[in-house]
Amino acid sequence: MNYDEIKKAETIPEASSMIETFRAIGYSLETAIADIIDNSISANAKNIYINRVWKGGKSIISIKDDGIGMSDEDIIKAMRPGTQNPLSERTDTDLGRFGLGLKTASFSQCRTLSVLSKLNNLKPAFWSWDLDYVSKSNKWEVLQWIPDDFSNDLDDLHSGTLVLWSNLDKIVSLQTSENDENAKQKFSSALDKVKKHVAMTFHRFIEEKIVKIFWGEHEIEAWNPFCINEAKTQAQPDENIIGGAKMKGYVLPHKNNFSSEQAYKIAEGVNGYPTMQGFYVYRGKRLLLAGDWLGLFRKEEQYKLVRIQMDLPNKLDTEWQIDIKKSKANPPAVCRDQLESYAKSVRNIGMEVYRHRGKILKQRAGQTFQPLWLEKKKDNKWSFVVNREHLIIQNLKNQAKEKPEQAIETLLCFIEESIPTSAIYIKKAEDKEEKEILPFSDVDMAVIKQILLDMFKNQVQQGKTHEQAKAILKTIEPFNNYEDLIEDLR
C-alpha cells in the first residue's frame, strides 16, 4: 500500500473520555501499588517506602524510592500514556511492558497523580495529572504542581522519586470526614491487604536483598509461597518449558508436619490454603499470578498443599498474554499438555500427603503399615470399613471379656477420631463413575431383622406399646430406612 497517495485524518482521542477509560481497566488497590513498585525496582532503587496519611476525603498514599530519579523532561515523558511499545525488545530486568503502568494504576485509585523526582543531587522536578482539570479542559496536559507538604520529601536523598496519590475517590469518598472511624477502619483494612500482597509479589527481591520495602517505618518481610525452609516440604524436579520458561513443583507439609502451628498459619497466605493452590507465574522474579491452575484444573480441597513455581522470560509476554495489570496469564496451546502432565504428577503427591495427613506409608522395621480403615469395592461401588485385623481391634476384643463397657467406649473413641474424611472426600470428588455403598446395603437382611426385633422387644419390656416401640425405631438411624421391616415386627 502506498500511504503517500492516501488521504489522512487525525483521530486524537478525547482526553477526558480516554482517561476515564484508563480508570476502568480493573486494578485492585494492591495490584496498583505493586505496579508503582515495579517502576522503582526498574529504576534500581534499593529502598522503597510506602506510606499513607489519613485525612478523610483528603487522604494520601505515597510511594518513595531512592532509585536513579528523573529529570523534568523524564517526568513529562513518564506521564505520557503509552511511553513504551509492548513489542519492543526489553532487558531481562525490565518489569514494564506497555508504558501505561504509572498512569493506569494511579488513575484506577485517585484523581490526582503527582510525581516528584530528583536526579544526581539536582533540584527536584515535579508534575501532576489532575483529572478534574482534564475533565474541564479536555486537554492532554499535566500541571507543574505538587502538594505543599511533600515538596521537600527528597531532600535526604542523592536521587529518587516520590509518587503521590491524592483525591482517592476509588478508596474513600471525597466527602468523608477525618473523624469518620468506620471509614478510617476500612481504609486501614484495604491497605493491610496491600502489605500482604507486596510481601508475596516481591518476595524474591526481598529474599535476595535486591531491595528493601518499608511499610511506614517497618521493613516488610518476604512471604515465600513454597515454604522452602520447612524440612517436610517436598520439592519436585525442575522442568523446562517450550519457549524458555521453566517450572518447579512443591508439595507443602501436612499441618501435622509443619515446624509450628504459627508457621502453618503463615503459609496459608492471603486467602487460605484451598485458594492458594496452583501455579505461581513469575516474570523477572516478580510474581504476576498467584495460585491459579491456568484453566487446566479446578481448585479442590485435596490439592490445597500443591504449589508450582513458573518462571517466564519477558520475551514471552505476548505468547502468554500478560495483561496490563500484570495479574493474568494464559499459556499458549503448544505447552498446555506439558503443564498439565507435570501438574498432575505433583498433584498426585499432594493428594497423598493430604489423604494420609503427612504420614509416610511404607514398611518400617520389616512391619507393614496397618490402616484402621480399609477401602472396600464391590460392583463399581465403594465404602470404607474398619480393619478387623488391626491390632487395636484385637486388643479391644480381649478387653471386652473383662471390661465390656470400657472396651466399647474405647472403640467408639477410636472410630470417631479416625474417620477417613479426607479419603472419603477424595473418592466423592474423583470417582464420578463409582458410587458410595449405602449403609447396610451389603449386610444380610436376617441380621438387620434380628437387631430390630431385639430392640423392639427391649422397648416393649420397658413399658412401651407396640406402636410406640415401632415409632421410636423409625427415628433411629440407620433403621429409619427400613420402615417396612419395622411394621412387620411382632
Low-confidence residues in the chain, pLDDT < 50: 85-88, 90, 93-99, 361-366
Yes or no: say if 72 and 89 are a contact pair by the CB < 8 Å rule: no
Q: How distant, in Å, are the alpha carbons of 116, 212, 215 from that of 50?
A: 15, 11, 5
Q: How many angstroms separate the CA atoms of 482 and 390, rounded? A: 31
Yes or no: say if 171 and 32 are a contact pair by the CB < 8 Å rule: no
Supply the DSSP string of 428-472, one letter for each residue: HHH-SS-EEPPTTTTS-HHHHHHHHHHHHHHHHHTT--HHHHHHH
pLDDT at 441: 62
Q: How many angstroms separate the CA atoms of 425 and 405, rounded? A: 32
pLDDT at 369: 62
**φ and ψ of 82, to 5 deg:** 75, 50
Q: Which residues pair with 128 in a beta bridge?
A: 114, 143
Name which of 122, 131, 31, 26 is nearest 75 in CA terms.
Answer: 122
Is beta strand 306-312 parallel, antiparallel or unpaired with respect to 278-283?
parallel
**Residue burial 193-230, b: 16+ Cβ < 10 Å; e: rest:** ebbebbbbbbbbbbeeeebebebeeeebeebbbbbeeb
Q: Cα-Cα-Cα-Cα dihedral of 151, 15, 106, 172, to 10°?
A: 90
pLDDT at 371: 74
- Coil vs helix vs strand at 9: coil
Q: How distant, in Å, are the alpha carbons of 51, 64, 65, 147 from that of 80?
A: 25, 20, 21, 21
pTM beyond 0.85, yes or no = no
Supply the DSSP string of 329-344, one letter for each residue: ----HHHHHHHHHHHH
Tens digit of pLDDT for each residue in 152-181? 999 999 999 999 999 999 999 999 999 999
Is beta strand 373-378 parallel, antiparallel or unpaired with respect to 381-386?
antiparallel
